[in-house]
Structure 1
Amino acid sequence: MEEGIKEEFNYDEVLAYIGQFGKFQKKIFIWLWLVSGVTGLSVVTFGFTAYTPNYRVATECDLMNSSYNFDTDSFSVPFWFRNKNDNISLDLRNQDCRIPSVEKNDEGECVNVYFSNESIEINSSDINQLIFDRTIMRSTLVEEYQFVCDRSYIRPYISALFMLGMLFGSFLFGFLSDTFGRIKTLMLAILWLSMAGFLGSFCMGTSGVIGFGVLRVLTGMGCTGSYIAAFVLGIEHVGYKFTMLMGIAFVIPFAVGEAVFGIEAYLIREWQILQIVAYLPIALLLAVYWCVPESVRWLVAHNKFDQAKSIIRRVAKENGRECPEHLLKHLTPMDDKPISTKTTRKTTILDLFSTRLILTRSLNMFFQWFSVTMCYYGLTSASTTSFAGDVYGNFLLSVLIEIPSYLFCIFLMDIWGRRPILSFCQIISGVSCIIIAFLEGSNLQGVEVLITVGFS
């Protein structure tokens, strides 16, 4: 009987009367776009809070000669090492933990510092012997947790924990969204994201790395939970004619949020303060609870008819339309409806593999999402702060280049079709990433261009 009632009510038919994308829906999307923006911000935070600066072992020359002096107030480090044999500057990323040799003149002044085959390496426990380039960040998690020398391999694993959290969060918050409602789940996810990121700023010292790792998993869960709940809530409030437009447009603030964090990172160079400023204000979005109503589609699916009617009438009023009361009569409690004998089989995830055709398409889409996610987040976490030149300018360029690609899809999706655009973009991105392997080290500018294309 419950299924019979649901089949008689068609919310898209109601939206045709009250407006598929009117003033009410536009106001909702402004709020939900803010959620999309903060999820983008949280994705890239680690790139600057855990930025790996240039560093090297300090020598006596740094104290003997003022021109070599390491001044923490000016955030400059004189990376002036040279190879004694060929007098060519070395790549310090390959020499950062080796103890250099010092050459002095007869007056005892340093005239050269170089590496030799006899140079030995220090380990992370001797971090006090290292000096760091403060040009980009004054303090980072790399120093806080001693991710240097023999412990430098740990940083990528801490970074990857965010993705692990997104995996768990997709299942958890997807279930909560279907069970308890979109708006309640969204509130939980926003608070979860804000508090997990905020508390991470208090995990200090090498002993705090485990706590930070756990909180990074929780941050990833809150991030994907916020995005999924907001995305579904927004899409379910508009008519079918606008689902494609809103589905793509919803991602634009994601890129804007990334850019906003780039500006915050430019203004704030201490990782702890930057972490707080990035995550704590997210809690302000709990105000969305009073500004965005629950999804009518979810309310109807869970027999909450009175709430659904109230929201429908509110939408009609704000959009300046007449409410179709003749359609709302189908939203009647069970005792007031004749018993329906029609039954409908419940849909499950197993239906994605029910036939050979559907199985093939499902596996194809799984692979598409896998490749897109690996490419996007791989480039985001590994490359956006590693370009030559101005780190902040390159970062902004890398994240804002996404917006033209979203506009490209919006204008051509219905003209060109879904499959041609997907194939075209995958080919461009894949070929760009492959060519990078042959350009890196020989044409750095070309690498930056191709990485940027890969993002778009």
Structure 2
Amino acid sequence: MKVEDIVKLLGDFGPYQKRLYFLLCIPTVSIGIQTIMTVFTLGVPNHRCSLPDWDNDTTYAAQGKSHALAINAAFTSPINRTQHDSSCFIYDQKNGTDDEPLYTNTTRTCDSWVYDMQQFGTTVVTEFGWVCDRKMAKSHAQMLLMLGFLLGSVVLVAPSDLATLITLLYSPFMCSAGRKMMFMVSVTLHAVSTISAAFVSSFTSLGLIYCMIGMSCIGVWSNSFVVGVELVGPSNRIWTGIIVEMFWTAGSVIVTVIAYFVRNWRHLQLIGSVPTLLFLAYYWLMPESPRWLISKQRFEEADIIFRHAAKVNKTTLPCNMFSGDMLDKKREEPLWRLFKRPVLVIRSFVLFFNWFVASIGFYGLGLNVANLGGSVYTNLFIAALTEVAGHASCLLLLNRIGRKIFLCTVMILGGSCCTATILPVLYGNGSLNWLTIALALIGQGFVVASFDIIWLYSSELFPTVIRSSALAAANIFARVGGTISPYIASMALVIPGDFGPIVPLIMIGTAMIAAGLAAMVLPETLNHPLPDTTEEACQMQR
């Protein structure tokens, strides 16, 4: 009896599968919390050089008339009376009275700053002085977090899930470890690293911790998701793959609410991380993967899990279920076989490009939300609503209008929204900043939908004999996109003026439009059988 036959006997989505699925969706909330938390912990508030002649120059706004005059004098040319950038440079001071210091017409870089605490409070940036010539430290830290996602895909995800492309990179321990063990390793690393992040004292320690957090996030998500959905019947797998993403969105909302009330980054990091210790209880709550147990011929343990599920679902299973080739293994071919078929080469690179762009858009737009202007808390809350709308649209439309049309539409519309942000800047004179924010957040909703679609669409386009290896390659392209996304978001800090915040949007939007247009060469898969061989895949028509 095949495992799929046992699932049919249990019921496609009975009480046991529902409990297990939602139990294993909960850790995804923490992944959303830790990813979006960097928007607040690495927030860059407005700042200016501190006045060397004022001992109590501790507030960004002027404390009185004399303080206002001193600020104006320090950042205004004594010759042409023009203002200059007060965030990194201050005019050299020359002898004057205590009440009225005098400044030369030459500037120097400052070594201490006064920050506007109204939006963020204390952050890593304000504590470590990551501004001016050190402003790229924020992007480096976020890059290391995303690099952790890439490394975690190799180190903490079971080989059977990332498949033959990277199997050789695993140690014998990784190959013999079950999904439950890898989940517990990931959860332990997640709890330790997220809590430790609240106590770092340097860029080196923070970067190392962030990399560990990224590794643990992808390990927790991948291993819990596989166990949660592998006993779900085919008729429910699409929506279970999308609903789990809403838990990530819930995490982003939770951390936004907490950050609104907790403006100290160390306290915020602790509050968002200490609850991860509860996930250690999953050692007693989470079963091992029955498919993995069967692959290791540990039939008695698998039988106990299946019969417990049958008892909860009030169904019965036959006495002798474990006979023959239960896993229905199919012959796998190496990924390089794709390159023998030009049509598959083009199709693969289009899909890989879409994965790459979807990841850049998802993380780049999320990290750029603090640079849009307005309240970062309001922006993130609205972004969460657009994400929910994106997920819901996939649930409603994927099986109605098809994968190809839907993917092309959301990519092109999302890219158009992002690139259209240039119009309010050109013609609004600052009065239409709300429109810039609205277009960016709507674009984020579209890119979320594209991520949902590309997972399903790719699995239906690649033939069975190379599907797992091709999806592993696509996943790596996505992680590379996520790794460079902080640098795209940081363009808002590098480019001065009103155009700074929209440069990342234009870059991401242009890439999304290109990806959507490229996807037009792909064939539709709705209501078509999955291709098993490369020949069948080549015969799929646009």
For Structure 1 versus Structure 2, the TM-score category normalised by the shorter chain is 0.7 to 0.9
Aligned position for 1:187: 184
Check 1:30–1:96 CA distance in 2 against 1; reply closer, same or farther (3 A cut).
Answer: same
**Cα pair 2:32 2:252 within 8 Å, conserved:** yes
Q: Verify: 1:330 aligned to 2:332, yes or no.
A: no
The SS at the match of 1:251 is: helix
Structure 2 residue corresponding to 1:360, chosen from 346, 355, 359 = 346
Separation in structure 2 between the aligned mates of residue 215 and residue 439 of structure 1, nearest angstrom: 40
Give, in angstroms, the shift of residue 360 of structure 1: 3.1
Give, in angstroms, the shift of residue 438 of structure 1: 4.4
Give, in angstroms, the shift of residue 365 of structure 1: 1.9
Match for 2:287: what amino acid? Answer: P
Quick one: higher RCO (CA 8 Å, sep 6+), 1 or 2? 1
Aligned position for 2:416: 431
Separation in structure 1 between the aligned mates of residue 128 and residue 160 of structure 2, nearest angstrom: 36
Q: Verify: 1:153 aligned to 2:136, yes or no.
A: yes
Check 1:118–1:369 CA distance in 2 against 1; reply closer, same or farther (3 A cut).
Answer: same
Q: After superposition, give the CA deviation of every residue in 1:330-369 in whole Å (9 maximum; x if it has no partner).
A: 2799xxxxxxxx9964455556656444433332221111
Separation in structure 1 between the aligned mates of residue 2 and residue 273 of structure 2, nearest angstrom: 40
Aligned position for 2:260: 266
Q: Verify: 1:372 aligned to 2:358, yes or no.
A: yes
Q: CA RMSD in A?
A: 3.4
The TM-score normalised by the length of structure 1 is 0.82
Check 1:406–1:78 CA distance in 2 against 1; reply closer, same or farther (3 A cut).
Answer: farther
Alignment of 1:55-454 (within 5 A): 55-59=47-51, 60=53, 68-69=62-63, 94-99=85-90, 118-122=106-110, 126-127=111-112, 130-175=113-158, 179=175, 180-204=177-201, 208-325=202-319, 328-330=321-323, 345-346=331-332, 348-350=334-336, 355-381=341-367, 383-440=368-425, 442=429, 443-454=432-443
Aligned position for 1:336: none
Match for 1:191: what amino acid? Answer: T
The SS at the match of 1:56 is: strand
The SS at the match of 2:88 is: coil
Give, in angstroms, the shift of residue 27 of structure 1: 0.7
Give, in angstroms, the shift of residue 420 of structure 1: 1.4
Check 1:119–1:107 CA distance in 2 against 1; reply closer, same or farther (3 A cut).
Answer: closer
Check 1:354–1:238 CA distance in 2 against 1; reply closer, same or farther (3 A cut).
Answer: farther
Match for 1:45: what amino acid? Answer: M
How many residues get paired?
A: 417
Match for 2:183: what amino acid? Answer: L
The SS at the match of 1:135 is: coil
Separation in structure 2 between the aligned mates of residue 409 and residue 219 of structure 1, nearest angstrom: 29
Stretches of structure 2 lacking an aligned partner (at least 5 in a row): 162-174, 446-542
Separation in structure 2 between the aligned mates of residue 79 and residue 372 of structure 1, nearest angstrom: 49
Check 1:50–1:319 CA distance in 2 against 1; reply closer, same or farther (3 A cut).
Answer: same
Alignment of 1:39-54 (within 5 A): 39-54=31-46
Separation in structure 2 between the aligned mates of residue 312 and residue 391 of structure 1, nearest angstrom: 47
Separation in structure 2 between the aligned mates of residue 181 and residue 351 of structure 1, nearest angstrom: 30
Q: After superposition, give the CA deviation of every residue in 1:193-229 in whole Å (9 maximum; x if it has no partner).
A: 221121122112xxx2111111111111111111111
Give, in angstroms, the shift of residue 412 of structure 1: 1.1
Q: Verify: 1:30 aligned to 2:22, yes or no.
A: yes
Give, in angstroms, the shift of residue 374 of structure 1: 0.4
Check 1:78–1:396 CA distance in 2 against 1; reply closer, same or farther (3 A cut).
Answer: farther
Separation in structure 2 between the aligned mates of residue 39 and residue 177 of structure 1, nearest angstrom: 23
Give, in angstroms, the shift of residue 138 of structure 1: 2.7
Aligned position for 1:6: none
The TM-score normalised by the length of structure 2 is 0.69
Name the stretch that deviates more: 310-319 or 349-358: 349-358
The SS at the match of 2:114 is: strand
Separation in structure 2 between the aligned mates of residue 48 and residue 253 of structure 1, nearest angstrom: 20
Separation in structure 2 between the aligned mates of residue 298 and residue 34 of structure 1, nearest angstrom: 22
Give, in angstroms, the shift of residue 136 of structure 1: 2.2
Stretches of structure 1 lacking an aligned partner (at least 5 in a row): 1-8, 71-76, 334-341
Separation in structure 2 between the aligned mates of residue 322 and residue 354 of structure 1, nearest angstrom: 48
**Cα pair 2:189 2:212 within 8 Å, conserved:** yes
Name the stretch that deviates more: 172-181 or 293-302: 172-181
Check 1:62–1:68 CA distance in 2 against 1; reply closer, same or farther (3 A cut).
Answer: farther
Check 1:299–1:329 CA distance in 2 against 1; reply closer, same or farther (3 A cut).
Answer: closer
Check 1:247–1:344 CA distance in 2 against 1; reply closer, same or farther (3 A cut).
Answer: closer
Separation in structure 2 between the aligned mates of residue 79 and residue 395 of structure 1, nearest angstrom: 37
The SS at the match of 2:373 is: coil
**Cα pair 2:299 2:322 within 8 Å, conserved:** no
Separation in structure 1 between the aligned mates of residue 154 and residue 421 of structure 2, nearest angstrom: 35
Q: After superposition, give the CA deviation of every residue in 1:225-270 in whole Å (9 maximum; x if it has no partner).
A: 1111122222212111111110111101000001101111112111
Check 1:64–1:322 CA distance in 2 against 1; reply closer, same or farther (3 A cut).
Answer: closer
| Percent of matched pairs sharing the same residue | 26
Q: After superposition, give the CA deviation of every residue in 1:364-414 in whole Å (9 maximum; x if it has no partner).
A: 221111000001101111x22233232212222123320111011011111
**Cα pair 2:125 2:138 within 8 Å, conserved:** yes
